[in-house]
Amino acid sequence: MLSQVYQDALDQYTKRPVPWILVNGIVALAGTVIPVLGALALLPALLRETTAAIDEDRDPKLEALFDTSTLAEDLTSMALYTGAQLVGLLMCLVGWPVAWIMFWMTPEIRSMRLTSPVDGMKLSAAYVSANLGSIIGVVIIDAILLSVGLSIAYFGVYLVMPLIMLSWSSYLRHARPELEAMAAERQMLLPDHQASAI
């Protein structure tokens, strides 16, 4: 699956590199203006738009990053996501990567508007536990891509980040049926998804 995930991401990136660089650059800039939290606040919206753009085979839309219709839930999810990592970091150095990987799918789940913020954390932990190998594979490949971007020059990160985000959305597209099934089984689905799951 991972080879297909990155092939799909690369195909999308090479079709329209400039729009992807610009949209991801805006999110990176938000993280610079408001350190860490600026980028995290926009992460669900970026994933939502990236996945929609892949589904529809189109350019990403910058205005989609600023859709405020689910901003409160997005911010709550990202606060929980960040809080879990901080707790892991405070407990011990080993706790941080464990929390980071276990809750890896939280932004993706939030981007789908699949569950409540708290249930999104629970669903991420359940999904990652069942798919640990592929999640660790994504983490390693993305870490290598980021290292390559950093080694080119600081600007190299701006070239690599769109590919990383596209890989996350590509992975999410493959994981979507399993995530929806797991959420339905655990009775975590929000009303909109409950109707579509019947």
Q: What is the pLDDT averaged over residues 78-103? A: 82
Give pLDDT tens digits for 55-80.
999 999 988 888 888 888 888 888 88
Distance CA 61, CA 52 (A): 10
109-149: pLDDT as tens digits: 999 999 999 999 999 999 999 999 999 999 999 999 988 88
How distant is the alpha carbon of residue 190 from its chain centre? 19
The whole-model pTM stands at 0.86
Q: Is the pLDDT of residue 35 over 60?
A: no
Q: For residue 102, how far is the Cα from the chain centroid?
A: 13
Residue 198: per-residue pLDDT: 36
Residue 165 near residue 139 (C-beta atoms within 8 A): no
